[in-house]
Amino acid sequence: MAEAERIIGTPDSPEGAGAEPEQSSGGEGQGSTGERPRGKRRIAVLFAVAAFAYALDLISKMIVVAKLEHHEPIEIIGDWLKFEAIRNAGAAFGFGEAFTVIFTMIAAAVIVVIARLARKLYSLPWAIALGLLLGGALGNLTDRIFRSPGVFEGAVVDFIAPKHFAVFNLADSAIVCGGILIVLLSFRGLDPDGTVHKD
């Protein structure tokens, strides 16, 4: 009997006490391992969407500067939609041209805030929304830094010209779409960390 207890291990024995923590620690390891890829996938989506939006904006502006600037506008849908190259020193859609440096700082601040939110990002819709904002902000910030008349005072290249509306670019479109999506997610009570709350 004593030999059997020694082999099996009683609850108070070192053998019995050591077996249970091994099982629980293994369960905790699996849980923590399961959480990490979930967070990484959302961050990857954010940066993938941002990179896609930024690349589209950058390529479109390069084509517009090379092929459309100093040329006649191109009619896409009659007078209702044209491609017309315009340099915009203001904010999105041409507002506030006297505050170029301030808008540059705001765009940089938005990028920093999104980078901080990314650490707690577990929601796929939020990842897409923040990715659109990040890509759009980077697109226009690139113009502010590298285009004339100077660093942080550069004019943004706009070219999408609907009738009776301001001329804008793909970065502006990404920012607006990301902002609308964030408003919708907020109304639904979905937070960036994936939790849902009801007011």
The one-letter code for the residue type at 191 is: D
| Tokens read off for 3 | 């030999």
Distance between first and last Cα of the chain: 63
- DSSP character string of 167-191: -B-HHHHHHHHHHHHHHHHHHHTB-
* Catalytic one of 57, 143, 172, 199: 172
**158 among known catalytic residues:** yes
Structure-block tokens of residue 135: 């890509």
Q: Is 12 a catalytic residue?
A: no
DSSP for 2-29, written as a single string:
HHHHHHH--TTSHHHHHHHHHHHHHHHH
Per-residue DSSP letters for 125-154?
HHHHHHHHHHHHHHHHHHHHHHSTT-TTTP
Q: Which residues pair with 156 in a beta bridge?
A: 88
Q: Which of 12, 158, 191, 193 is catalytic?
A: 158
**Catalytic (active-site) positions:** 158, 172
